Each structure stands twice: as structure tokens, then as C-alpha cells.
Amino acid sequence: MTNLTRRNFIKIGAAGTATVILAGCDSDERWVKIETYVRSPEEEVAGNPKWFATTCRQCGAGCGVIARVINGRAVKLEGNPEHPVNRGALCARGQAGLQVLYNPDRVQTAARQDGRATRNYEPIPWNTGINQLAEALNSAGSRVAVWVGTTTPGHLVDLFTRFTDAVGAPAPVRYDLNAGFGGYAPLSNASEGVLGQAGLPTYGIGDADFILSFGAEFLGSWISAAGYGREYGEFRSKRIGKARGYLVQLEPRMSNTAASADRWIPVHPGTEVLVAQAILRLIADGSAGSQERRDLAGQFAGDVDLEEIAEQTDISVETLQTLATTFANASRPLAIPGTPVTGRDNATEAVNAINALNVVAGNLGGSGGISLTPAAPINALAAPTYSNYQDAADLIAAMTNGEIDVLLVHGANPAFELPASAGFQAALENVGLVVSFASIVDETALYADLLLPDRVYLEGWGYDVATPGFQGLPIVSGQQPVVTPLYDNVAAADVLLTAAKSVSGAASALPWTDEVAFIKDIVTQLPEAAYPAEGDDVKWAYFLQHGGWWPAEAPESEAPEVSLGGPVELGPAMYEGDPAEYPYFLHLYMSPILGDGSGASQPWLQGTPDPMTTIAWQTWVEINPRTAEELDLDDGDIVRVSSPNGTIEAPIYRYPAIRPDTLAIPIGQGHEALSRYAKDRGANPVQLVSGTPGNDGNIAWSTVRVKLEKQGENKPLAVFESTVDQGEDVHIPF
Amino acid sequence: MAETNEHGHKWTMIVDLDKCNGCNACVVACHAENNVPIASEEEVIRGRGNHWIRIERYWEGEYPDVQARFIPVFCQQCGSAPCEPVCPTYASYHSTEQNLNVQVYNRCVGTRYCGNNCPYKVRFFNWWTPEWDSPLNEQLNPDVTVRSAGVMEKCTFCIQRIRRAENDATADGRELRDGDVQPACAQACPSRALVFGDLYDPESQVSERLPAERQFKLLENLGTEPAVYYLKGEDTHVGE
């Protein structure tokens, strides 16, 4: 040991700092450095912001965001004005992304749980965790399963897929509430009939002048909130060649999408396809629209009895006639199927019945209609595919049968997002090692043996092929850290790449040193973007600077091959539950604020009032005031809602815009974990649906009946609106 | 409808109710930009929710002929503001340069007269000193004061952004351009229902869009001269 003089001490200190920085990253371009004021980098002006483009991972839409960073702290997220998905817009959940980063309940290191669901976590060094994973993967061979969600970044899904391919395991299951409740699988499957190939379609809302939405909450949490919100603004604008769009929303409970519609039609639950069939018949037999449209409608119209449909749907023949005439006469009409259609039996067929209207409209393939996101120009960047619930159920069955030794979960929370009857938690008992990559302990991580918390999206790398894309563009959204990682966490992709090195068969399939090398390798293969860039380094730098890659102009698309031949003759949806015992239809919807429930961990979202009820922080049951009166129920009265599958308790909110035979409950709350803000708050209505796959391999989100029992207690509602009943006469005292 | 004035600005917001769909992006954006604390469940129940911009939802009619309407409401930056003359400490005063109602937090002693006198109910009282569970305090915008207990607060049209844009323009030796200033709410709005600009600038988007057929102001009959223009929703009942 040398003599420790003051001068030497400073030298050693400086060397130590430098070492830490070098060990922390392979290349200094990869991290934003936090610097103290006293040793600020020359270019840093205190209080002057820096801006970093990255990708939002609050849902799967892949919006571009720009983070405002001051002295190493991310203080605001904005939409990226260049990004084709959102063009500068950002939804409520996107805005709240800072609270994913700065959430006080994040897991701060690797940890082991001493007994599942004991919440007894013991921090372990990362090497220990990665070694344990590597050993488990090595001995598991092909008995490995990966469960990811829509919010898992694309590069990580690609790496997981390369890994499962290499070891001979099935491809990752990509299923969560966004994909399941959003109906990604039936929507994708139905694309085959009208667009020639499967894939999640883009609805050209902005260029349409008449929209018939069959319960698609495209202004809520459905698929791409900011993207469709932006399109909706276009839809409402008048431009040369386009009139102000007219929106008709058919659904049993008025959502904020229906509230924004020109006309809300409280259709009888489960009869959406009958409405479509009636409209096709009326167009075929009528005189509205072009001859071509009438001929096409004739091709798809079945033998239907209009009077009977009017009775079944609760929509008069006159109204059906109006809808048919308007649809046929519109220059760019569009029909959109939502969760009431994708969450029923025969979901793909039901989507086809709605899509037949799009065939009649002649809006397939181009802008203003329905189209597929064009493929990215290199094979490694194929559009993401989403699993149907059947794939998830098959995996659960394999787990139950003891066929899975290691389960890796990232970006999905099946223990919360699936009904208990799906058997996910029970199946985990037969899985040797459950690994969660969650950044906050969620319900699934409660059952994990090993926590390897991933870096959150504002401190991690990635790319994402945006699906649906917009404006006919293939879009590869880029993700980069905007701040130095807050905690001692290792990126999930780096965990996988490191572990795979010692797994036989996998090492050669995953040769990259780290995730940045992998992403860079892929990104530099991309052809010219909307911005000019030459050479690998410039391409990479511009990819990060602009927030992704997309071409200046949409590639030319070929006319799709329509194989949807004749009429789709499908009856009303089959409901679960005997009407005598369960008198009400259950209408579930994803909270427009909390989304799939992951938003419940963020106080900004918890405290934001629901647009329709103005309730914050809670779960409530919406009931028509007339039904409430019959049952002697007032706002805040706690009720027990039971279906053949489960039971929840929540307070009543008398909701003027819901059918008297329907109860509506938002999904999002009812967490057992997921931070102090979400835990033990509200109820999870997912428990009311059945975990048995329907005949289309989906969950029957929208076809279950429930009953209601008053509990005799009252809970004050956290409403932001006035609770003073102003009645008919409002007296203003001045 | 540009108005002319050699000095200052007339900041104006246009709210197109035909495009607002109640998504609440503006609400969260405002909380993030302006360090607006979140009220807990208990506080919301006691009527102490605090949102500088809120989406009011009105029901009209009865089922099945029921209609819901959204109106985003925030400080209307009145030209003749009822909140100003009642403030005993001049915490609430009128900026003639920016044509804004300004709240000086360190003058405010919390009489709440201004909140009482505001017909739009857009002024909020800090009943408690806001706390952010660490490290949520890292998200705070350093350009905006965190208000303590006993102080009244409200929408400022993101005055910190106006100031920054002015400073940047001065540093570049140019005039402010339309679009340089975007309050957080208008910037986030996916459907572009909120449009912000200077009514003294004849080239600005707001000047070009006003007067509009559908325009109205909230509680205009009170003589408050709000700076916020609302555009009525269009009810084009096609085929009816």
C-alpha cells in the first residue's frame, strides 16, 4: 500500500471513478451520464434540457416518445412529432411513463423468493441469478417455455424466439390482456379472408367519412390509443375531398368512444353480426350506393328476416335501413369490430361478418380502409405475431402435466390477466423454476422463484416493429435509455445472451456479446430511411436520434386477395349462465386510463378520473338508474356480482347510458401486488369470465351473464364530478 | 381574428369539442409538466381532487336517448377576471404583457377568495404539502415551483414554456413564431382538439381559425372575457 497522501487519494479516487464507468458499459455512447454540478461536462448547461427519442412500452402500439432530460433526470415525455404512429401525440398512459421509471416499488436487484407467494425475497448477486438460470436452462433442454406480452420489446421477443428455436422448445407465447381483450388473434385470423394474409389490421379511421363501430373502443384502450386518437382528429376534420366523418357506435354501454360518436345505438349484447347481416341485405335489396356495392352486398347477404333481426338486436328496421343507406352512400365507409365481436364464440367468423361490410365498401388494402402493416424490408424484422388464448391454455396444460421445467415470464402478468379457472397458478406447482423479469413484483412474480428485473423502457435498449403501422408505412421504432439505469439491474436481453452462452445448442444461435450489438446488427441492415444516412455508424446514430426507422414513402401495395366468398351466417352469441339465475349481461371494458391494469401502479393514472364516471382510484359497477331503482340501489352501495365462474364485490355507480339488462365493470384494479398504489384496491372482474378456451380458442370476454346481490354496505365513490343532485332546476345565486 | 398590439401577446386556446373524446391525455400531461400533486382516494372523496385541466362530462336526456358531452375546463385566463380584485395580497393579478391571470405563489396567504369568486372552479387550494414517494420526486419539472400547503394554484397556460420560448427566441435574435409555445395539454392531445397560440399574431393558427361558426365561451354572460374559445360539437345527423 502506498502512502495515502491527499494528492494520491484524489488520484486513486479519480481512477476508481473511471474504472466504474468503463466497467458499467462497453462503449461510452450507450449511457447518459449523471454528473454533479461541480463537475458538469462542458456542454451541460444547468437547467437546459436534453431530448432523447425512444419508444413507449405502456401498451404494445409502439408510439415514439421524446424524453426531456435535465441533469440526468427524465422530467417529461412528449410524443415524437416525426413518428408515423403518433405524430407528436401521446395518450394518458404514455404521459405517465415516468412513473414506471421512478416507481418507488421497483425491484432493485436480482432476488430469490424463499417459497412461492411468501413475499420473502432475498437479494442475490446478478451472477448468481444468471448462473442459476443458465444451469436450469441447460438441464431443461427443450422443456422451456417463454411467456411474453404486447409490452415486451420486439428485440427481446426476437431473442427469446431464437433461443426457443435453438433448444427445440415451442415459440414464446405472446398473450396478455391487450392482445386477448383487444381480440388480436381473431382480428389477425380474419385478415386472411379479406386481406389475403393473417395480421393485425390497421383501420384507416382518419380518411373514412362514415364509421360503423361494433363496440371497438378505439378512443379507449383498444390497440393503439394515441394512433387512433390522432386518426380520429383527422376523421373529424374537413378536408378537400373529405367531409367531416360520421361515427355510429353500437355497444350495450356507452364508452367514451360512443360518447364521442354522432350516434350511439345500445345494441342487444351478442347480436352485432345480425346487424351487419341486416345491413348487407338492405344494401343488396335497396337502391342506395353504387351498383358494384349492391352486387357485392348481394354476394354476402344471407337469407335474413329483418323483422326478426330488429327484435333480436333492439334496433328498429328503420334504423337498420338508415345505417344501410348511409353506409352504401358514403364515399369511404368503414366497419370496425371490437371486443363484443372478438370476445364471443366463433370470433373469427364474427369478425368476417363485419369485414364483409368492408368488402362491400371496397376499402381493402389502401389508405382509408383496412390494411395490413407492410412488412419491414429485412426478414429479421417480421411483424410481431400474437398468440391466441388457446396457445396460452396449451402451455398451461403442458405446465400442469409437468412438461415444463423452466418458465420465463416477461411483459405479461397471467396471474392477474387470466381468470383463476384458467389454472395458471395451479399449473405453476409443476414447473421447476419460474423466472419473472418484472420490474415491479406483480401477481405473477409472486409465484416466481427467481426475480431478474429487467430495466424499464426509459433506461433500456430495444426496437419494436409497430403494429398496426399507419400511413401504409413499415415502422421500426427505436428504444434507447434516456437516463442512467436507476438500479443495479441487468437488461433481460443481456441476461438471456449471457445465460445462453452455457446452454448447449443455444450459444451459436445467440452469438452477440450484448443486446446493443444485436440491435445494432439488425438496424444497420435496414435500407434508406425517411432521413438520409450513410454508413453503419451514421445509420445507427440517426436511428437513435429520430427514434426509429421508416421510409419516406409508403411502399406500393398490391390489391389484396379476398377469399371471403359468401354470406357469413352466424347467429347471436351464446351466453354462459342460465338467464333465470343470472339475469344481467356482463359488459367488461379495459379502463381507458389504467389500460390492461399495469397502469394501476402509477399514481398519475390512479388519480386521473375515468372519462365517463369521473371516478378515480376505484372499481365500480355501472347499472342503469332504472334498474338500480328497481333493486333499491344507490351510488356507492356495495354489490356482489357473480357469474358461473367467480364473484367480485364493488360499489354501484348509476350510469345513465347503459342498457337496463347490462352491468358494466372496468378492468384494471384488483391487484394483490404491483406496488403500493395498486395493491388491495378495487376488484378484478376478469375473475367473472371462463378460463376454458371457447370454440375459436379465445376467451369469451363478452358473453357471460351475472347476478347481483346487495351487500348492505356503502362505500363513498371517489368521483370528481359534483355529487350534488342538481335536478331539473338549477338556481344560481347570482 | 387577429387583434393588434405592439407589445405583448394575447395567448388563446381553442378547444374543438368535436374532436375531444375525453381521453384524459391532457390531464396527465398537465400533472407531469406542472408538478400538480395527485389527490389520494380519501381526498377525492372529500372533494379535494386537483387537476389544472379536467374533462367535465355532461349527461343529456334519458336512456336510450342519452348523450354525454365532454368539455375540457381549465383557467379561462379571463380578460376581466373575478379572481383578481378579491385577492388581498395581489397574489392573483393580471399580466398585461401576456394577457394572463397570474398567480404569485409566495404572495398567497391562502384566503381562497379567488377560488370562491371563480365561476369556472379552476383554482385549487393546497390542503397539504405535496409529497412524492422517493424516487418519484425525480420526475418533478425543475422549471415549475412545487406549491406548499396553504397556497392557491391553477393553470398558467404553461407560463414556463412561454418564458423559455421567449428566451430561446431572444437568444436566436428573432421574434416568437407560431407553434414555439405549446402548453403540455395541447402538445399531448392526440386528436388535436386543443390549439394554442397568440391572437396578436395574425399568422397564428388561432387567428386563422377565429372567428369560427361554432365558437362560444364558457359563462360569457358573466362578463369575464375568457381567452378560451370553445367550438361546439357538430351534430350532422346524416340520413335522419
Tell me how many residue pairs between chain A and chain B have CB atoms under 8 A apart.
212
Element (H, E) at A397: helix A389-400
Residues with pLDDT less than 50, chain A:
1-2, 4, 6, 8-28, 729-734
- Give the closest residue to A110 by CA, choosing from A351, A438, A480, A575: A438
Query: Do A616 and B142 make contact, defined as CB atoms within 8 angstroms?
Result: no
Model pLDDT for residues B11-50, shown as the tens digit of each residue: 999 999 999 999 999 999 999 999 999 999 999 999 899 9
Contacts of A75 in chain B (CB under 8 A): 139-142
pLDDT in the model for residue A283: 98
The DSSP bridge pattern shows strands A406-410 and A144-148 to be: parallel
Q: What is the pLDDT averaged over residues B170-183?
A: 94
| Chain B contact set for A626 (CB, 8 A) | 63
Chain A contacts of B64, Cβ < 8 Å? 266
A75, A77, A614: residue with CB nearest B142 = A75
Interfacial A residues in 406-435 facing B (CB < 8 Å) = none
Three-class DSSP category at A25: coil
Give ipTM to 2 decimals: 0.96
Query: B77 falls in which pLDDT band (50, 70, 90)?
Result: very high
The stretch B222-230 carries a mean pLDDT of 96
The distance of A424 to chain B (nearest Cα, Å) reads: 32
According to DSSP H, which parts of A103-224 are helical?
A: 126-140, 154-167, 177-181, 184-195
Which positions ≥6 away from A290 have C-beta within 8 Å? A328
pLDDT digits (tens, 9 = 90+) for A631-680: 999 999 999 999 999 999 999 999 999 999 999 999 999 999 999 999 99
Angstrom distance (rounded) from CA A664 to CA A647: 14
Please list every residue in chain B whose beta carbon sits closer than 8 Å to the beta carbon of residue A263. 237
For A175-272, strand residue ranges (E) read 201-203, 210-214, 246-250, 263-265
**CA dihedral for A525, A526, A527, A529, sign (positive or negative):** negative
- Specify the DSSP class assigned to residue A494: H
Does the pTM exceed 0.95? no
CB hemisphere CA count around B12 (13 angstroms) = 29
Find the closest chain B residue to A715 by CA distance: B45
Measure CA B162 to chain center. Answer: 13
End-to-end CA gap in chain B: 35
**What is the tens place of the pLDDT at every residue in B114-123?**
999 999 999 9
pLDDT tens string A537-594: 999 999 999 999 999 999 888 888 898 888 888 999 999 999 999 999 999 999 999 9
Q: What is the pLDDT of residue A14?
A: 43
Please, where are the H alpha helices in chain B? Answer: 25-34, 41-45, 113-117, 159-171, 184-188, 205-209
Amino acid at B229: Y
Helices (H) and strands (E) in chain B, counts: 6, 10
Over 60: is that where the pLDDT of B74 sits? yes
Contact (CB<8Å) A656/B63: yes
Cis peptide leading into A81, omega within 30 of 0?
no
Helices A317-329 and A291-300 sit at what angle, rounded to 10 degrees?
130
- How much of chain B exceeds pLDDT 70, in percent? 95
- How confident is the model at residue A41, as a pLDDT? 53
The answer, yes or no, to whether residue B73 has pLDDT greater than 80, is: yes
At A126 the pLDDT is 97
Q: Do A94 and B25 touch (CB under 8 A)?
A: yes
Interface test with B, best of A58, A224, A236, A662 (most B CBs within 10 A): A236
Looking at residue A240, its pLDDT comes to: 82
User: Which residues, other chains included, contact A164 with Cβ-Cβ below 8 Å and sequence gap of 6+?
Assistant: A144, A146, A170, A171, A172
Question: In DSSP terms, which residues pair with A265 in a beta bridge?
Answer: A250
Q: Which of A37, A77, A91, A723 to mutate to test the interface with B (most CBs of B within 10 A)?
A: A91
Contact flag A612-B238 (C-beta cutoff 8 Å): no
Closest in B32, B57, B135 to A612, CB measured: B57
Report the helix count and the strand count for chain A, using DSSP H and E. Answer: 24, 25
